[in-house]
């Protein structure tokens, strides 16, 4: 019902019909991926996967050669525990030695190792290593393919949800994976904010803000956002009374150590302990057993959501043991006792962050897959009061649908409800630099300036002013470590050309010029240094006029990181102007126009942090690897399918088709039978089959079609081969005739110079023998082949014809290539006949004796020169 209204709210704008492009929204979670497509002519909804499911398990895996996604990939973990990769979201941009990696090893059976960037890679059982970004990119590419088949066109613009606590490094990792997957990031949106957009889409608000808390219990964390909803004039300048909806995030709270996965882990601990107690064997040492137990823990947790107890049961879990155990909800809850207090805490953190109290909140909107867990719901109800709890959004899909609506608004190609979103930064961001040394020996101090305190609005910028005489560099850093083990450094920026620019400004009449650097906090939460300039106020207009020539003289080097984020920056500037906001919170940018101020751009070199984003070439390599690695199963399946339809057409075609002419009825019947068998196999088992099944089925069917195809091709090839045979027959005969004449002539002349004949009698007789053998065989072959019906296998293969002709050809060539016997210059004019006659004979057979001709011609030329 909700979706129907949304459909009605969306209609295409008419002016940009030609450039309409789809926008894909992806909610990449630790357990589940949800996607939604905004595409012209496609009903707006959650994107379905190949088995029509509305969410895709967040797993990529391999079964031997076959790359698998979703539940296919998840379900093989029990058999191939190091070839199934889940919960990868935990590892985005994580340094290899950080606590997040230790946690991951406690939940996963995957083999991990460091990358060259000191982030995490995972190793398959065949030894191949894949970085986390690559594995996530494969899943994003899988989603892209689903979207492209739904849209019927290429899909490249994507908006992704990220948790509000994501650091710049983690955001970079998301954008990197998107690029490796062959898409562009239109924007990132905090998941709670996306839910707020979805919530606002079908509701109207008053001018007075209404506060709601979006409580999002996911697999890897729990987070809460305080959102203020209100009605604002759509256009402050115009007198029209159009209303827009404003959503402002006022505060956020989160806990990165609590969530659905931690509940799974605790439940698996209960089961593992129980197994060890019962069976006296260390299940923890058995990867298959632990992977099976992980899956079972998830299943049991779901049962305990609705029941007081559940039966855990895994056949042949490890050590040939069938494991069964009863577990009660109270036992499970007791094991999670310490978490109970943590479930609701993000709500209060978000409130205090926003400077509000529960009284100000209209409702607490529950969302996220784990919000259904009774343990969590009970804790939240107890904390905020049952009356405040709202279950009015789809816990699984609200975020991705909200993101799609927001993305559609940003792309400005779809007309959606006018919603203006303001989000906030999770961490204090400061700039750190060394003070200028007063003299050569004086010490410099480190100066830290808070630029964007936590809670700063996304889409704002700040200009810092420095009184510096020399080039210097500054670091953009998080004031505090955002998450244990994560780096705090974001960017290191070198500003250059300062002395020269200051000199130029001073010479132009500026007094006391300064250096200014502008930092931008983008709508997607990235901080960048936008530019650095030297600035000085110039009183004298005439000199200022002269100074115009200086504009653009400085070089502002564009760095890799800047170009990589270009799409994000671009889309954001679009959205900002669309929203009619003045994002500038500039501290020191005077707006007054006169007196003339002059600005010289400075050199800007941005270096990346200790966990840098992937470089352009790293991304390209990753993309090529991922694309090359697998597709095989899909390809094999498609190729089998295509083949089956082709064979069916061949069999069904009426009339005297080549296929019918070249096949016997019994053969066609067998093929029909095999075809039907394979079609029904494909229908029943096609989804679980692996690459080799498809290939062997195809090969089996091909073995029936092959003889028919061979007959048909022989019908084409035999006459051609025969022509060539006959041609060599004919050429040889001509050669022999003339060579024999030459030999006879040389003997008649008086035998004083028998070497005048190029060939001896023996040579010519040997060639003739070969020729007669060839002719005899050829005549028999032609007779035999004449009796063969089209639907019979050929009596003589064209390949045999060719190889027989080759024997004759080789023999002939040997004689033709024979060196001309040495002779006296005086007799040279008299006796060119044998060689020239052989060449004329071969050149008169136009097609095939080119090789003969090639060999004789130069020798002839040489001969003439003598």
Ligand X SMILES: *[C@@H]1O[C@H](CO)[C@@H](O)[C@H](O)[C@H]1NC(C)=O
In whole angstroms, how close is the CB of 784 to ligand X at the nearest point? 13
Contact in structure between 55 and 99 (CB atoms under 8 Å): no
Using rule CB under 6 A, residue 730 touches ligand X:
yes
Q: Which of residues 593-622 bind ligand X (CB under 6 A)?
A: 600
Taking CB under 6 A as the criterion, the residue among 168, 220, 456, 504 binding ligand X is 504
Find the part of the chain contacting ligand X (CB under 6 A) among 23-31, 356-364, 408-416, 657-665: 356-364
User: Is residue 548 close enough to count as binding ligand X by CB under 6 A?
Assistant: no
Rule CB under 6 A: is residue 781 a binding residue for ligand X? no
Residue with tokens 């450094």: 489
CB 781 within 8 A of CB 729: no
Closest separation in Å from C-beta 18 to ligand X: 43
**Interface with ligand X includes 328 (CB under 6 A)?**
no
Residue 159 vs 724, nearer CB to ligand X: 724
Choose between 96 and 205: whose C-beta lies nearer to ligand X: 205
- Measured CA to CA in angstroms, residue 196 lies from 392, 459, 703 at distances of 12, 18, 60
Q: Mark the segment that binds ligand X (CB under 6 A) among 71-79, 143-151, 495-503, 639-647.
A: 495-503
Shortest reach from residue 583's CB to ligand X, in Å = 23
What six digits make up the tokens of 27? Answer: 């909610």
Report the residue from 497, 523, 531, 714 that binds ligand X according to the rule CB under 6 A.
497
Q: Is 439 exposed, middle or buried (0-12, 13-18, 19+ CB in 10 A)?
A: exposed
User: How far, in Å, CA of 784 to CA of 725, rounded?
Assistant: 16
As separate numbers, helices (DSSP H) first and strands (DSSP E) second, the chain gives 25, 31
Closest distance of CB 603 from ligand X, Å: 8
**CA distances in angstroms from 100 to 74, 88, 164, 304, 495, listed in the order given:** 21, 11, 18, 28, 35
Judged by CB under 6 A, the stretch of 113-121, 263-271, 331-339, 546-554 that binds ligand X is 546-554
Residue 347 near residue 253, CB atoms below 8 Å: yes
- 778 sits near ligand X (criterion: CB under 6 A): yes
Asked whether the beta carbons of 68 and 80 are under 8 A apart, the reply is no
Given 402, 554, 583, 612, the residue binding ligand X (CB under 6 A): 554
Closest distance of CB 782 from ligand X, Å: 7
267 near ligand X (CB under 6 A): no
Both tokens of 270, joined, read: 């209960």
Q: Is residue 360 part of the contact set for ligand X (CB under 6 A)?
A: yes
**Using CB under 6 A, which of the segments 285-293, 512-520, 717-725, 815-823 binds ligand X?**
717-725
Three-state secondary structure call for residue 328:
strand
CB of 351 to ligand X, least distance (A): 10
Quick one: 336 or 498, whose CB is closer to ligand X? 498
Q: Is 210 in the site for ligand X (CB under 6 A)?
A: no
The total number of residues written for the chain in this structure:
866
536 binds ligand X (CB under 6 A): no
Indicate the residue among 685 and 720 with the shorter CB distance to ligand X: 720
Alpha helix (H) residue ranges in 280-336: 287-306, 329-335
Shortest Cβ distance from residue 358 to ligand X (Å)?
9
Only segment of 72-80, 510-518, 706-714, 716-724 that touches ligand X (CB under 6 A): 716-724
CB 809 within 8 A of CB 726: no
Residue whose C-alpha is closest to residue 504's, from 466, 463, 533, 461: 533
533 touches ligand X by CB under 6 A? no
Say which residues have a Cβ less than 8 Å from residue 373's Cβ, sequence separation at least 6: 217, 260, 263, 301, 305
772-777 CB contacts, 8 Å cutoff, 24+ apart: 774/725, 774/728, 774/729, 774/732, 774/804, 774/805, 774/807, 774/808, 775/729, 777/804
Rounded to whole angstroms, the Cα distance separating 182 from 184 reads 7
Q: Which stretch binds ligand X (CB under 6 A): 437-445, 480-488, 693-701, 727-735?
A: 727-735
CB of 611 to ligand X, least distance (A): 34
137 belongs to the binding site for ligand X (CB under 6 A)? no
Residue 847 corresponds to which tokens in the numbers above? 């097609």
- Taking CB under 6 A as the criterion, which residues in 93-132 touch ligand X? none
- Measured from the CB atom, is 651 or 802 closer to ligand X? 802
> If binding is defined by CB under 6 A, does position 556 make contact with ligand X?
no
Residues 26-65, one symbol each (x = binds ligand X by CB under 6 A, - = not), give ----------------------------------------
Question: In terms of Cα–Cα distance, which of 81, 82, 102, 80 is closest to 91?
Answer: 102
Q: Does 849 bind ligand X (CB under 6 A)?
A: no
Closest CA to 214 of 173, 274, 163: 163
Q: How many residues bind ligand X (CB under 6 A)?
A: 22
- Output the smallest distance, CB 554 to ligand X, in A: 5
In angstroms, give the least distance from the CB of 714 to ligand X.
13
Identify the three-state secondary structure at position 86: coil
Considering the rule CB under 6 A, would residue 721 count as an interface residue with ligand X? no
Q: Could you tell me where the DSSP H helices lie in 508-615? A: 541-547, 560-564, 566-578
Token couple for 17: 């019909």
Asked if residue 606 lies in contact with residue 562, where contact means CB atoms within 8 angstroms, the answer is yes
3-state secondary structure of 829: coil
324 binds ligand X (CB under 6 A): no
Q: Is 775 in the site for ligand X (CB under 6 A)?
A: yes
553 binds ligand X (CB under 6 A): yes
What 772-776 contacts at long range (C-beta under 8 Å, 24+ apart), as own/partner pairs, is 774/725, 774/728, 774/729, 774/732, 774/804, 774/805, 774/807, 774/808, 775/729
Q: Which is nearer to ligand X, 572 or 738 (CB)?
A: 738
Least Cβ distance, residue 532 to ligand X (angstroms):
12
Which stretch in 279-287, 676-684, 774-782, 851-859 sits in contact with ligand X by CB under 6 A?
774-782
Residue the block writes with tokens 């990529």: 60
**Can residue 729 be called a binding residue for ligand X (CB under 6 A)?**
yes
CA distance 832 to 158: 80
Q: Pick from 726, 813, 840, 843 the residue near ligand X by CB under 6 A.
A: 726
The Cα-based distances of 75 to 32, 60, 81, 283 in angstroms read 14, 10, 10, 19
Cβ at position 392, least distance to ligand X in Å: 22
Stretch that binds ligand X, among 50-58, 441-449, 499-507, 757-765 (CB under 6 A): 499-507
Among 550, 681, 712, 791, binds ligand X (CB under 6 A): 550
Q: How far is the CB of 781 from ligand X (least distance, A)?
A: 9
CB of 596 to ligand X, least distance (A): 17
Q: Which is nearer to ligand X, 102 or 352 (CB)?
A: 352
Asked if residue 447 binds ligand X (CB under 6 A), the reply is: no
Question: Taking the complex as a whole, how short is the minimal distance between the CB of residue 293 and ligand X, in angstroms?
Answer: 48
With H, G, I as helix, E, B as strand and everything else as coil, classify residue 308: coil
Least separation, in Å, of the C-beta of 188 and ligand X? 28
**Rule CB under 6 A: is residue 731 a binding residue for ligand X?**
no
Q: Nearer Cβ to ligand X, position 226 or 477?
A: 226
Residue 589 contacts ligand X per CB under 6 A: no
State which residue, 378 or 726, has the beta carbon closest to ligand X: 726
State the Cα–Cα distance between residues 307 and 654, nearest whole angstrom. 63
The CA angle 39-42-43, to the nearest 5 degrees, is: 115
Instruction: Write out the E strands in 609-700.
Output: none
Residues in the site for ligand X, rule: CB under 6 A?
Answer: 356-357, 359-360, 497, 500-501, 504, 550, 553-554, 600, 719-720, 723, 726, 729-730, 733, 775, 778-779
């Amino acid at each position: 019902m909700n979706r129907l209204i949304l459909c009605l709210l969306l209609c295409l704008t008419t002016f940009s019909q030609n450039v309409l492009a789809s926008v894909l929204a992806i909610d990449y979670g630790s357990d589940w991926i949800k996607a939604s497509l905004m595409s012209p002519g496609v009903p707006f909804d959650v994107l379905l996967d190949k088995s029509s499911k509305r969410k895709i398990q967040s797993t990529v895996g391999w079964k031997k050669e076959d790359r698998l996604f979703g539940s296919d990939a998840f379900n093989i973990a029990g058999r191939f525990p190091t070839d199934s990769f889940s919960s990868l979201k935990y590892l985005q941009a994580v340094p290899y030695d950080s606590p997040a990696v230790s946690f991951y090893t406690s939940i996963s059976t995957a083999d991990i190792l460091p990358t060259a960037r000191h982030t995490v890679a995972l190793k398959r059982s065949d030894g191949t290593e894949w970085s986390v970004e690559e594995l996530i990119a494969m899943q994003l590419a899988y989603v892209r393919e689903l979207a492209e088949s739904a849209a019927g066109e290429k899909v490249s613009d994507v908006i992704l949800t990220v948790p509000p606590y994501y650091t710049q490094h983690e955001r970079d990792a998301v954008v990197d994976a998107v690029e490796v997957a062959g898409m562009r990031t239109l924007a990132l949106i905090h998941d709670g904010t996306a839910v707020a957009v979805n919530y606002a889409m079908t509701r109207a608000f008053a001018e007075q803000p209404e506060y709601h808390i979006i409580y999002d219990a996911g697999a890897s964390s729990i987070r809460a956002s305080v959102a203020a909803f209100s009605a604002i004039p759509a256009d402050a300048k115009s007198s029209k009374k159009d209303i827009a909806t404003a959503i402002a995030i006022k505060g956020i709270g989160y806990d990165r150590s609590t969530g659905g996965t931690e509940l799974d882990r605790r439940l698996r601990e209960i089961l593992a302990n129980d197994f060890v107690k019962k069976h006296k064997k260390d299940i923890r040492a058995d990867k298959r057993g632990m992977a099976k137990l992980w899956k079972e823990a998830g299943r049991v947790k779901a049962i305990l959501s609705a029941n007081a107890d559940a039966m855990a049961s895994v056949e042949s879990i490890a050590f040939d043991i069938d494991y069964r155990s009863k577990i009660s909800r109270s036992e499970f809850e007791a094991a999670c006792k310490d978490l109970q207090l943590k479930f609701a805490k993000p709500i209060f953190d978000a409130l205090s962050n926003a400077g509000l109290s529960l009284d100000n909140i209209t409702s607490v909107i529950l969302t996220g897959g784990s919000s259904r867990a009774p343990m969590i719901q009970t804790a939240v109800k107890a904390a905020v009061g049952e009356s405040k709890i709202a279950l009015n959004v789809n816990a699984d899909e609200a975020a991705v649908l909200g993101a799609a609506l927001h993305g559609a608004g940003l792309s400005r190609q779809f007309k959606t409800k006018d919603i203006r979103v303001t989000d906030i930064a999770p961490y204090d961001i400061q700039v750190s630099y060394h003070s200028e040394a007063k003299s050569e020996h004086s010490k410099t101090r480190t100066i830290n300036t808070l630029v964007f305190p936590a809670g700063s609005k996304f889409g704002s910028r700040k200009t810092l002013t420095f009184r510096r005489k020399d080039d210097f560099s500054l670091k953009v850093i998080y004031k505090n470590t955002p998450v244990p083990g994560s780096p705090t450094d974001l960017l290191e920026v070198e500003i250059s050309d300062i002395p020269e620019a200051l000199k130029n400004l001073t010479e132009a009449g500026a007094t006391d010029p300064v250096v200014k650097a502008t930092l931008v906090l983008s709508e997607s939460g990235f901080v960048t240094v936008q530019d650095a300039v030297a600035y000085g106020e110039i009183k004298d207009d005439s000199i200022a006029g002269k100074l115009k020539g200086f504009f653009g003289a400085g070089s502002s080097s564009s760095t890799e990181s800047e170009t990589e984020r270009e799409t994000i920056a671009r889309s954001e500037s679009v959205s900002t102007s669309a929203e009619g906001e003045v994002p500038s919170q500039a501290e020191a940018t005077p707006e007054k126009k006169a007196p003339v101020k002059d600005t010289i751009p400075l050199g800007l070199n941005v270096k990346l942090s200790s966990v840098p984003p992937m470089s352009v070439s790293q991304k390209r390599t990753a993309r090529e690897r991922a694309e090359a690695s697998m597709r095989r199963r899909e390809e094999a399946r498609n190729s089998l399918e295509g083949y089956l339809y082709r064979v069916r057409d061949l069999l069904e075609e009426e009339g005297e088709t080549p296929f019918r002419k070249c096949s016997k009825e019994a053969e066609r019947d067998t093929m029909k039978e095999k075809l039907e068998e394979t079609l029904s196999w494909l229908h029943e088992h096609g989804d679980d089959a692996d690459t080799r099944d498809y290939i062997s089925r195809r090969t089996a069917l091909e073995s029936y079609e092959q003889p028919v195809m061979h007959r048909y091709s022989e019908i084409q090839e035999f006459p051609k081969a025969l022509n060539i045979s006959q041609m060599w027959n004919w050429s040889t005969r001509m050669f022999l005739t003339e060579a024999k004449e030459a030999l006879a002539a040389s003997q008649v002349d008086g035998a004083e110079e028998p070497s005048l004949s190029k060939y001896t009698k023996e040579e010519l007789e040997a060639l003739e023998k070969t020729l007669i053998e060839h002719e005899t065989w050829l005549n028999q072959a032609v007779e035999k082949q004449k009796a063969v019906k089209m639907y019979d296998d050929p009596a003589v293969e064209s390949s045999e014809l060719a190889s027989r002709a080759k024997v004759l050809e080789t023999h002939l060539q040997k004689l033709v290539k024979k060196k001309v016997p040495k002779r006296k210059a005086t007799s040279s004019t008299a006796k060119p006949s044998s060689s020239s006659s052989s060449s004329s004979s071969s050149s008169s057979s136009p097609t095939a004796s080119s090789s003969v001709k090639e060999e004789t011609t130069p020798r002839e030329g040489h001969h003439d020169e003598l």
